[in-house]
Amino acid sequence: MIIGIGGVSTAGKTTTANKIRRLLSELRVSIICQDDFVKPVEEIPNIHERVDWEHPDSIDHDKLFKTILAEKESNDIVIAEGLMIFYDKAINELFDKRIFISIDYETFKQRKGIDKRWGHEPDWYIDHIWESYLKNGLLQQNTDCYWIDGAMQMKEIELLNYL
């Protein structure tokens, strides 16, 4: 099974992927993070003289696609997670299950304010992350998907029932 997990930065994608791995500990589970498929900096568009990590062209979608397929050869479950994981049509079609984690703008802004993984990010760039998510990261509501409110405690039994 191949599972896609999408949502804005700090929504809980990695946490959810790790939770699935723990819940399905009797199976071989591989987690692939879209962030690991960022192109070299010189190939990524800029915004206001800053590297635009939030642009779809920042991701090597072909390499990500091939990695997902390769991981499926040696694992029972492959989880691919990222802000734009549903952006590329070919990748999106690989998913047997889709999970989308949504948070509101205020929750995102609060979490992003304490997230220092990438160093200090100016307010305008944090707003840009949100706008890029709205433009390139959303999944259509009518898509077959398990929707999670990232501001609430996840119900593990419901997640297991979806899988």
Q: Write down the pLDDT at residue 142.
A: 56
Q: pLDDT averaged over consecutive 10-residue blocks of the chain (163 residues)?
A: 95 94 95 96 91 93 98 98 94 95 92 77 87 84 78 74 75
Residue 85, classed as helix, strand or coil, is coil
The correct answer on CATH 3.40.50.300 for the domain covering 2-162 is yes
| Amino acid occupying residue 45 | P
What's the rounded Cα separation, in Å, for the pair 6 and 13? 6
Q: Write down the pLDDT at residue 141.
A: 57
Cα distances (angstroms) measured from residue 89 to each of 57, 62, 141:
14, 11, 16
Q: Write down the pLDDT at residue 162.
A: 74
Count of C-beta atoms within a 10 Å radius of residue 91: 22
Burial class (CB in 10 A: 0-12, 13-18, 19+), 137: buried
Q: Write down the pLDDT at residue 62.
A: 98
Q: Per-domain residue ranges for the chain? A: 2-162
Q: Write down the pLDDT at residue 157.
A: 66
What's the rounded Cα separation, in Å, for the pair 126 and 60? 23
pTM of the model: 0.90
